[in-house]
């Protein structure tokens, strides 16, 4: 029986689950969305903001913190919780995805990843053992194995080799890990190939780790393909361990993937959209810069209970973005994260109340996702704009 995760209820019609994660820094309910604070901060927000909007856990990135301000600096200052002034649970990513987003600035072998810093061009060599050492010194509650994350559409043979290398590295991470009270998660890979996904799940579950992530999805593949790969992967993961789908944060995806039995999610999408003036509502994503909001007296979303919607009109937010006032980015971020956190709360309650299938159907009928072609184009432009400048956060 897992000491980290307690499964409380499963929806028999869909597989959606409600549970509780228990860590040295507190317990959090699932389904859970984890806001991304790669460099030790969720952009524009304070820890108090995060607590107020209901965030139970935050994500930081060992790659970014290793380069700046340095792992040893954070250790000397009392660890990541004290450094961030965040007393709740923290999950750290090993930085594998960020390293592999560096493109020509890195070289990979079975020993590890040789890369050049996106900050100053200095050369570094990151091994699975060092990735674990860094995360142990940071003191996070949940840490990730070091993995190789090939891009969507990569050559099948390269994806096979990357999956096998990730397995080798997962074993090395497990051997190196020794900090008590810190849960090490494996990461299932295999690209868009169902058989590789099944093989990866079988190998990683044989390591008997405290939790399992599903990586290498939400990288541009069609949503239907992501869902089918979840159907292949999730049933192979232990029922008593948390299941974490990395990099998923759009409302419709969260609802659908909870229905596929996923417990945890993270994504920079809600905060990134907020800083670009895109805000969630009950029916769709809106651009706050649209002229129709110029004189809108009501809030962004009349159903939302966030600080922004309780205190400011959509017209005011439109004005802030028109003037590029920093307050606009902060207020939009508060709204988007509260919208997502509240969505997770609603899904959890519906699972406990045996009404999740109805909740799912009602939400997906009402909510209109961004057009798939537009979404893919936007994501590709974002990836290209960042790939050669600095790793994804």
Nearest CA to 94 out of 172, 1, 7 is that of 172
* pLDDT confidence band for 97 (50 / 70 / 90): confident
Of 213, 243, 268, which closes a domain?
268
Using CA atoms, how far apart are residues 309 and 331, in angstroms rounded to an integer?
9
Q: What confidence score (pLDDT) does residue 101 get?
A: 80
Sheet holding 112-116, edge to edge: 106-109, 112-116, 123-126
In a domain, 383, yes or no: no
Indicate whether 382 pLDDT > 90: no
pLDDT of residue 131: 97
Q: Domain boundary residue among 251, 268, 285? A: 268
Catalytic residue among 93, 141, 301, 393: 93
Q: Is residue 184 part of a domain?
A: yes
Tell me what pLDDT residue 374 has. 60
The residue from 147, 253, 263, 266 that is catalytic is 266
pLDDT of residue 352: 98
Question: What percent of the chain clears pLDDT 90, i.e. is strictly above it?
Answer: 89
Instruction: Quote the CA–CA distance of 363 and 358 in Å, as a whole number.
Output: 8
194 and 92 share one domain: yes
Residue carrying the six token digits 């299938």: 357
Torsion of CA 382, 385, 391, 393, to 10 degrees: -30
Confidence of residue 388 (pLDDT cuts 50, 70, 90): very low
Looking at the fold, whether 237 and 120 belong to one and the same domain comes out as yes
For residue 93, indicate whether it is catalytic.
Answer: yes
Overall domain count for the chain: 2
Question: What is the per-residue pLDDT across 198-213, written as a single tens digit (0 to 9) for each?
Answer: 999 999 999 999 999 9
In a domain, 388, yes or no: no
- The CATH number of the domain holding residue 251 is 3.20.20.105
- Radius of gyration of the CA atoms of the chain, in A: 20
User: Does pLDDT of 236 surpass 90?
Assistant: yes
In a domain, 373, yes or no: no
Tokens of 308: 């922004």
What is the overall mean pLDDT for the chain?
A: 94
> Which residues sit opposite 195 in a β-bridge?
none
Q: Are residues 279 and 175 in the same domain?
A: no
- Given a cut of 70, is residue 16 above it in pLDDT? yes
Q: How confident is the model at residue 99 (pLDDT cuts 50, 70, 90)?
A: confident
Do 126 and 236 sit in the same domain of this protein?
yes
Residues 71 and 162 in one domain: yes
Boundary of a domain, candidates 268, 303, 319: 268
Could you read off the pLDDT of 133-184 as tens digits, one per residue?
999 999 999 999 999 999 999 999 999 999 999 999 999 999 999 999 999 9
Work out the pLDDT band at 389, boundaries 50, 70, 90.
very low
| 294 and 158 assigned to the same domain | no
- Asked if residue 389 is part of any domain, the answer here is no
Proportion of the chain above pLDDT 70, given as a percent: 94
**Is the same domain home to 294 and 323?**
yes
180 and 198 housed in the same domain: yes
Q: Please check whether residue 380 lies inside any domain of the structure.
A: no
Provide the pLDDT for residue 349: 98
Provide the domain limits for residue 253. 5-268
Per-residue pLDDT tens digits for 56-94: 999 999 999 999 999 999 999 999 999 999 999 999 999
Note the pLDDT tens digit of each residue in 306-354. 999 999 999 999 999 999 999 999 999 999 999 999 999 999 999 999 9
Residue 87 bears catalytic tag: no
Q: Are residues 19 and 161 in the same domain?
A: yes
173 belongs to a structural domain: yes
| 174 and 201 fall within a common domain | yes
In a domain, 195, yes or no: yes
Banded model confidence at residue 378, pLDDT cuts 50, 70, 90? low
Q: Are 25 and 90 in contact (CB under 8 A)?
A: yes
Q: What is the 3-state secondary structure (H, E, C) of the chain?
A: CCCCEEEEEECCCCCCEEEEEEECCEEEEECEEEEECCCCCCCCCCHHHHHHCCCCCEEEEHHHHHHCCCHHHHHHCCCHHHHHCCCCCEEEECCHHHHHCCHHHEEEECCEEEEECCCCCCEEEECHHHHHHHHHHHCCCEEECCCCCCCCCCCHHHHHHHHHHHHHHHHHHHHHCCCCCCEEEEEECCCCCHHHHHHHHHHHHHCCCCEEEECCCCCCCCHHHHHHHHHHHHHHCCCCCCEEEECCCCHHHHHHHHHCCCCEEEECHHHHHHHCCEEECCCEEEECCCHHHCCCCCCCCCCCCCHHHHHCCHHHHHHHHHCCCHHHHHHHHHHHHHHHHHHHHHHHHHHHCCCHHHHHHHHHHHCECCCHHHHHHHHHHHHHHHHCCCCCC
Are residue 84 and residue 193 in the same domain, yes or no?
yes
288 shares a domain with 198: no
């Amino acid at each position: 029986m897992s000491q980290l995760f307690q499964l409380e209820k499963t929806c028999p019609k869909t597989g959606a689950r409600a549970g509780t994660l228990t860590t040295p820094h507190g317990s959090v309910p699932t389904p859970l969305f984890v806001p991304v604070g790669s460099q030790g901060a969720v952009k524009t927000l304070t820890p108090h903001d995060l607590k107020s909007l209901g965030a139970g856990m935050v994500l930081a990135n060992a790659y970014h913190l290793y380069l700046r301000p340095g792992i040893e600096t954070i250790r000397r200052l009392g660890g990541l919780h004290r450094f961030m002034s965040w007393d709740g649970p923290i999950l750290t990513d090993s930085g594998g995805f960020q390293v592999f987003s560096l493109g020509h600035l890195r070289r990979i072998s079975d020993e590890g990843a040789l890369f050049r810093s996106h900050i100053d061009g200095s050369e570094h060599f990151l091994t699975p053992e060092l990735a674990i050492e860094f995360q142990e010194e940071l003191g996070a509650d949940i840490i990730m194995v070091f993995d190789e994350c090939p891009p969507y559409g990569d050559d099948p043979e390269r994806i096979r080799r990357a999956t096998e290398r990730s397995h080798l590295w997962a074993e090395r991470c497990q051997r190196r890990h020794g900090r008590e009270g810190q849960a090490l998660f494996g990461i299932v890979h295999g690209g868009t190939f169902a058989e590789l996904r099944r093989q990866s799940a079988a190998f990683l579950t044989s390591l008997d780790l405290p939790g399992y992530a599903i990586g290498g999805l939400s990288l541009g593949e069609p949503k239907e393909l992501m869902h089918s790969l979840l159907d292949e992967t999730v049933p192979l993961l232990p029922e008593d361990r948390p299941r974490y789908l990395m990099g998923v944060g759009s409302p419709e995806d969260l609802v659908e993937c909870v229905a596929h039995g996923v417990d945890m999610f993270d994504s920079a999408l809600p905060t990134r959209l907020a800083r670009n003036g895109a805000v969630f509502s009950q029916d769709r994503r809106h651009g706050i810069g649209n002229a129709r909001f110029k004189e809108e007296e009501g809030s962004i979303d009349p159903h939302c209970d966030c600080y922004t919607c309780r205190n400011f009109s959509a017209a005011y937010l439109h004005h802030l973005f028109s003037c590029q006032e920093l307050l606009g980015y902060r207020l939009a971020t508060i709204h988007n994260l509260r919208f997502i956190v509240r969505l997770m709360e609603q899904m959890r309650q519906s699972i406990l109340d045996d009404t999740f299938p109805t909740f799912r159907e009602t939400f997906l009928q009402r909510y209109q996702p961004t057009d798939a072609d537009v979404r893919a184009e936007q994501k590709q432009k974002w990836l290209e704009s960042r790939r050669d400048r600095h790793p994804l956060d």
